[in-house]
Structure 1
Amino acid sequence: MAVARTFAVALNGLDGHVVEVEADIAPGLPAFVLIGLPDTALGESRERVRAAAVNAGCPLTQRKLTINLSPAALRKQGSGFDLAIAVAALAASGDVGVESVSGVVHLGELGLDGRLRPIPGVLPSVAAARRAGFAKVMVPTANAEEAELVEGIRVIAVASLRDAAIWHGAGFSPEPVDPVGLPAAGARSNEDDGALDMIDVLGNDEAIEALTVAAAGGHHVSMVGPPGAGKTMLAARLPGILPDLTDDEALEVTSILSLVGAPIGRELMRRPPFEAPHHTASAISIVGGGSGRIVPGAVVRATNGVLFLDEAPEFPARVLDVLRQPLEAGTITVHRANGVAAFPARFQLVLAANPCPCGRYGSPDDECTCTPIARRRYLARLSGPLLDRVDIRLSVRRLSVAAMRASRAGGSPISGHEPESTSGSSAAIRQRVVEARAVAAERLAATPWTRNAHVSGSWLRTGPRHLPHAVTSSLDRAFERGAITMRGFDRTLRLAWTLADLDSASTPTAHHVGAALFLRRGMGS
């Protein structure tokens, strides 16, 4: 009997690699041999596939069956190869068409009753199959809607191994079964952030304008203030003023949700994600890992969105330090004994902290009991290298009723905009952000970047858009005094360009550079 071949997909992070599944039947004692560097879950597929085939009414051969997963040097993980192994074995024994199975990518886990169970990572797997040139993919019924999000490939949904065999030409009579469904948890909605509107934030016009600048340029933010000052409220509403994701960003975000096993709806996620891990989170939960399949961490799940660390000084220093590399590179590579996985990790970081351990320092009503040394040690938990990567630093104060009412009377000290445009609804602020990003995208059309926060510092300093000394004189003096680092110099220039984009200015002025330096060195401090 000739060797039968079909295909599956092995995921390494978000990257999918098409795997050829070969089945060979040879004379000898009954055996089921699986080779090709499978992990434990995949190695156990021998028993799952054999039992599923028997209970589905299409038993496998009783001769020696060898399954090879090629390329053999590539690690294969998980139970998503079950369907491909089963149909390849059936094709080798002549129960289904060899030519039919060779043109389809098969994804799915088999239950002992022969039904197909949904698996995580279907969306990136189908996208990898399409990139490899395949026109058809077979998936469990529960994963069909998710797979159909990838355009240009035919999705074949089957509920059981018997249905899959019949589709490939087996002479079995159909036996209806109830498809295995997805978990009861609902899929994330594109309107999840609609209830959190910036108009609910009162008396913090300066902070709202600063977050508008952060959203327009993709800048990182830190907020220091006593409890009740509105830090968490502001951070939770930042995704609401971010623009909808582009097609590529939406596919990336939805693929990450698929990879972690979250239910996927009928459309790609168009709203930026928001991740807020607790301060007891470990470094592995932040960056990703696991003893088996490498699972994305919070920095990956926040890709193209916001990562909010509330009570940031309470996070262990080791956890905070792992953020440095993804903040600079926009990617994270997780190394474990069972393999290496690379993930996207370009997000906006928002840090929130109390001014001291008791949280009352600077409050006009409460007396702080912390010593100056205790206050310095508390905030020193946020290391200098980490804070140097934060573009905007806010000092948020609790406001009185009189100050809250008077806050609407004047414009923002950052850019001088009228208060209606800085303290309006999230939809109105989002429109300003969209317009500013469009200006930046047009200016950067001939470069690899689309947002100001991602632009190379050397390009800003020496490229065609470099600013004259008369405009950057305040920034130059701060650098000469050692008040900011070279990284801080570049990040301040990026902020100045974002402020200019919000003002629809063709180039930053000295006022924009001064306002950027004001934001960089700690607004309101």
Structure 2
Amino acid sequence: MPVKTFSSAVFGIEATTITVEVNITSGTRYYIVGLPDNAVRESMLRVESAVNTCQFHMPRQKIVVNLAPADIRKEGSSYDLAIAIGILSASGQLEGAATGAYLILGELSLDGSIQPVRGALPIAIQARREKFKGIILPKANAREAAIVSDLEIYGAENLLQVIEFFKGAGSLKPTVVDTRDEFFSNINNYKTDFADVKGQENIKRALEIAAAGGHNAILIGPPGSGKTMLAKRLPTILPPLNLHEALETTKIHSVAGKLSATDSLMTIRPFRSPHHTISDVALVGGGAYPQPGEISLAHNGVLFLDELPEFKRSVLEVMRQPLEERRVTISRSRLTVDYPASFMLIASMNPCPCGYYNHPDKECTCPPGAVQKYLSKVSGPLLDRIDLHVEVTPVNFTELSSDRPAESSEAIRERVMRAREIQAKRFEGMSDIYCNAQMDAGTLRKICRINEAGQLLLKKAMERLGLSARAYDRIIKVSRTVADLTGSEDIKIEHLAEAIHYRSLDREGWAG
């Protein structure tokens, strides 16, 4: 008589329950059906060795394992444990065990030990939704799954522990994690701080504006001027993750297999800094078996692209749509998955190939036209989605050697959070708009009123500095954030003037 156990598969960041049906009849071969990939087909060899190692016997009969629903492709090795328990139950070695009350997942080694799997958190969420009593999974994934309440989580180290558990004589104890205590005790636990940065007050100000309004920014300056150091500290001044954001971020990293055995819940905003040799698939996600890319791993955090012109143009262009929609859709012939990608883009670059164009002390050695050719590697449509262009100058010796303490990230973060609270009230009731950078054209015209003096300043800026038309909306959005930081209800001339200052790359003749 067929026996059923239950496992799970992850598609995108959501899980689907898989029923593992095992039937043993007369014959001599093993079969796995239900669209298994090579890793699943090979599982019978791992299961046989693990079962024999645990002093149980693998039936020398025809074994048919069906993974239902049969029209969904099954990938990976996480079905090993469920198949092994199903075979032992169908052969009478686990007769009467309540295997159907639990989701079972884990990869078996030949000696019966259980290896970790990906996606434990979304699987646990789906298990609770479908009213399972609990989950049996690798011990390395137990803390990750245990942040889901009202579900028994058992982390096992080997197959024998799972067999004994179902026989009622095991020593497995449920893993318990206090989600709220875990979240609030580790929130904002950053190792870096803006207090470490000497000088560069104008750059800190620009990054404060970027954090307050959720604006994308690009830092342009010579080597050694502190661009990377400043960018790495941006997450420390962003508002703390709320519990919903933490769960969503943890789900993505769980699916990608980026959580360690000691991790349960991500409590700080992610900071991703891929190398410039990255492929477009690695950046946005995808592959033969779709996985989240760097832009999804940076969800609710910061994506930092160091030396922006060195990235392949095709890699940069695929970011344009996710930057607007804050989501990336990966389509394949048999399935379509969505990954969230709401991140702040921070990029850095040298002003020219040699790095010293506009340097106060060193001469640029680039030949005529080289600067413009270098900057043209970054397309206009991508720059159109970057609100702040910030020129970074080297720090002089006096500032570097000064003992005067710099402002801490905590002090800057408090101002950022006050500005975000103003925006939360402003956009209350509006779907998918949480900060100034996300305003569409209609909302911008409705909310950001510019007086006559401000319009005159904008007109002069467009004419005298050669600003492009695409810079107009960006300037208004940034000026609205500057006004929020000062607590002003209206956008004043000084707010507009500061926003105009952050459009370096739109100026005609900036690159010679």
TM-score, normalising length: structure 2: 0.87
Q: Does 1:454 align with 2:438?
A: yes
- Secondary structure in 2 matching 1:356: coil
The residue correspondences of 1:386-405 to structure 2 (distance < 5 A) are 386-401=382-397
Equivalent in the alignment of 2:277: 280
- CA distance in 2 between counterparts of 1:175 and 1:157 reads 11
- CA distance in 2 between counterparts of 1:379 and 1:52 reads 58
Q: Is the alpha carbon distance of 1:366 and 1:50 closer, same or farther for their aligned partners in structure 2, counting shifts above 3 Å?
A: same
Q: Does 1:321 align with 2:303?
A: no
Equivalent in the alignment of 1:166: 164
> Are 2:448 and 2:480, in contact at CA under 8 Å, matched by a contact in 1?
no
Residue in structure 1 matching 2:423, options 404, 420, 440:
440
Q: Is the alpha carbon distance of 1:471 and 1:309 closer, same or farther for their aligned partners in structure 2, counting shifts above 3 Å?
A: same
Equivalent in the alignment of 2:501: 518
The residue correspondences of 1:272-421 to structure 2 (distance < 5 A) are 272-291=269-288, 293-335=289-331, 340-401=336-397
> Are 1:118 and 1:142, in contact at CA under 8 Å, matched by a contact in 2?
yes
> Are 1:37 and 1:74, in contact at CA under 8 Å, matched by a contact in 2?
yes
> Are 2:213 and 2:420, in contact at CA under 8 Å, matched by a contact in 1?
yes
- Secondary structure in 1 matching 2:162: helix
**Alpha-carbon offset, residue 190 of structure 1:** 5.3
Q: Is the alpha carbon distance of 1:134 and 1:473 closer, same or farther for their aligned partners in structure 2, counting shifts above 3 Å?
A: farther
**Alpha-carbon offset, residue 348 of structure 1:** 0.9
- Secondary structure in 2 matching 1:351: strand
- Secondary structure in 1 matching 2:190: helix
How many residues of Structure 1 are paired with residues of Structure 2 in the alignment? Answer: 491
- CA distance in 2 between counterparts of 1:316 and 1:245 reads 32
**Alpha-carbon offset, residue 54 of structure 1:** 1.8
- Secondary structure in 2 matching 1:372: coil
The residue correspondences of 1:142-153 to structure 2 (distance < 5 A) are 142-153=140-151
Residue in structure 2 matching 1:136, options 122, 130, 134:
134
Residue in structure 2 matching 1:243, options 231, 236, 239:
239
Q: Does 1:55 align with 2:53?
A: yes
Letter matched to residue 118 of structure 1: P
- Structure 1 segments unaligned to the other structure (5+ residues): 177-188, 409-419
Deviations along 1:308-359, one digit per CA (max 9) or x if unpaired, are: 1111111111111121122111122334678654322211111111111111
**Alpha-carbon offset, residue 476 of structure 1:** 6.6
- CA distance in 2 between counterparts of 1:508 and 1:88 reads 67
Letter matched to residue 437 of structure 1: R
**Alpha-carbon offset, residue 384 of structure 1:** 0.4
Residue in structure 2 matching 1:268, options 242, 250, 265:
265
Equivalent in the alignment of 1:20: 19
Residue in structure 2 matching 1:473, options 448, 451, 455:
455
Deviations along 1:21-63, one digit per CA (max 9) or x if unpaired, are: 222223x312221111111111211111122122222334333
> Are 2:450 and 2:491, in contact at CA under 8 Å, matched by a contact in 1?
no
Equivalent in the alignment of 1:416: none
- CA distance in 2 between counterparts of 1:471 and 1:82 reads 70
Letter matched to residue 452 of structure 1: N
**Alpha-carbon offset, residue 192 of structure 1:** 9.2
Equivalent in the alignment of 1:121: 119
- CA distance in 2 between counterparts of 1:203 and 1:175 reads 58
- Secondary structure in 2 matching 1:127: helix
Equivalent in the alignment of 1:108: 106
Deviations along 1:354-401, one digit per CA (max 9) or x if unpaired, are: 111111111232211213311000011011011000011111112434
**Alpha-carbon offset, residue 99 of structure 1:** 6.8
Equivalent in the alignment of 1:93: 91
Equivalent in the alignment of 1:179: none
Equivalent in the alignment of 1:183: none
**Alpha-carbon offset, residue 84 of structure 1:** 1.4
**Alpha-carbon offset, residue 437 of structure 1:** 1.3
- Structure 2 segments unaligned to the other structure (5+ residues): 173-184
Q: Does 1:200 align with 2:199?
A: no
Deviations along 1:153-210, one digit per CA (max 9) or x if unpaired, are: 111222222222222237xx7699xxxxxxxxxxxx9589734221222231111011
**Alpha-carbon offset, residue 404 of structure 1:** 7.4
> Are 1:211 and 1:238, in contact at CA under 8 Å, matched by a contact in 2?
yes
Q: Is the alpha carbon distance of 1:194 and 1:231 closer, same or farther for their aligned partners in structure 2, counting shifts above 3 Å?
A: same
**Structure 1 range deviating more: 339-348 or 232-241:** 339-348
- CA distance in 2 between counterparts of 1:509 and 1:364 reads 32
